Amino acid sequence: MNDYGAVLERACGAVGLTGAAETSFLAAYHETFSSRFDALASEPYRDAARAGNETIDRSVDPNAFVDALFDAECVGSRVPAVVHETLAGLDHPVGVLTNGLSEWQTAKLAHHGLDEHVDEIVTSEAAGAHKPDPAPFAVAAERLPATERWLVGDDRTADVAGARDAGWRAVHVDGPASVPEAVEQL
């Protein structure tokens, strides 16, 4: 996803938020979402939307905003063909290890047709800690046994350093152009 601001703007537009109301709503939304997400709260999106709603002089249905945000995230994200090709060509189990929420990550994988290539999804929510903490890596290792583990990720700290600290091999990718190089390393 190249521009998360555009995703938020699209979600705000879907529920009729513009101008100062949008700015106020999003400021409260960001603050609450960050703290609730970091705390592994079960409903950080809805909690943040409720907090945003409290800052504006009209009512926005928090559930409608969260639904619009989810739709905007799916529409706003792109999966390069090389990712599909790479996953289709692998002959071993594949897992997704993410700091995202289970429901959202599962649905986004399905939206992009990647779910058919994934054997297991482990989220920080399920592990009780965010990457680079060792807990998500331990849960992933438990759920998807292997003699060797690789992680391909776009965050040098949470993904690459966390994986290496857990005894995994790790490859950093910073966009579609780096995927073939990552595959070569695998």
List pLDDT tens digits, range 160-179. 999 999 999 998 888 766 66
HEC assignment per residue over the chain:
CCCHHHHHHHHHHHCCCCHHHHHHHHHHHHHHHHHHHHCCCCCHHHHHHHHHHCCCCCCCCHHHHHHHHHHHHHHHCCCCHHHHHHHHHCCCCCEEEECCCHHHHHHHHHHCCCHHHCCEEEEHHHHCCCCCCHHHHHHHHHHCCCCCCEEEECCHHHHHHHHHHCCCEEEECCCHHHHHHHHHHC
Average pLDDT taken over every residue of the chain:
91
Percentage of the chain beyond pLDDT 90 is 73
Total number of domains constituting the chain: 2
Q: Which domain holds residue 128?
A: 81-185
Q: What is the pLDDT of residues 38-86, one digit of tens each?
A: 999 989 999 999 999 999 988 899 999 999 999 999 988 888 888 888 8
Is the same domain home to 104 and 172? Answer: yes
Q: What is the pLDDT of residue 18?
A: 94
Is the same domain home to 22 and 102? Answer: no
Instruction: Band the pLDDT of 109: cuts 50, 70, 90.
Output: very high
Is the same domain home to 57 and 107? Answer: no
pTM of the predicted structure, to 2 decimals: 0.86
